[in-house]
Amino acid sequence: MSKKQKNESSPGAIAETEPPTTPDPVADPAAEAEKFRDLAMRTAADFDNFRKRAAREKEDSIRYANTSLLGDLLPLIDNFELGLEAAKSAPDAGAILQGLGMVARQFRDFLSSAGLEEVVTEGAIFDPNVMESVGHENSDTVPEGQVLRSTRRGYKLRDRLLRPASVFVSKGPAA
């Protein structure tokens, strides 16, 4: 017996093993085709969702592009209206008051065409989503939870709140 044969037949010899078999992807072409069809369908659906989301985000960015500008204009609106109210009490200010009133009307029309709306507070029930309570007062005529008066106007840009209205809320009749 040769040395090589002796090693192979000895009890301590390492037996050669076959390499593990891997499943042949070509063995079941129908299953493979279904897997790739499913992958293609999912990819197409994901792309369609991405396209819709991108279009929606683009539309929103265009729709609300003026948010910062309009937000910066709100203090100007407040001060202009305060000046207009002060001019009403001044004697001999009829012509100036009429001109300022026309400018104020044009300004409001321009802002509403840009999508700015005032939050309605007069006679409304307090809504914490669009109003900010700065105080509560007793009232014999206004029911509890209803707005008594507004100290600062609130504004919305289309359906988004730009600035909440500051209001006093009724506590109802004094006990």
Secondary structure of 44-88 as H, E, C letters: HHHHHHHHHHHHHHHHHHHHCCCHHHHHHHHHHHHHHHHHHHHHH
Which of 24-28, 50-54, 83-87, 106-110 has the lowest average pLDDT? 24-28
Q: Are 136 and 104 in contact, with CB atoms under 8 Å apart?
A: no
User: φ and ψ at 151, to 5 degrees?
Assistant: -100, -20
The secondary element (H helix, E strand) that includes residue 103 is: helix 94-113
Tens digit of pLDDT for each residue in 125-156?
999 999 999 999 998 898 999 999 999 999 99
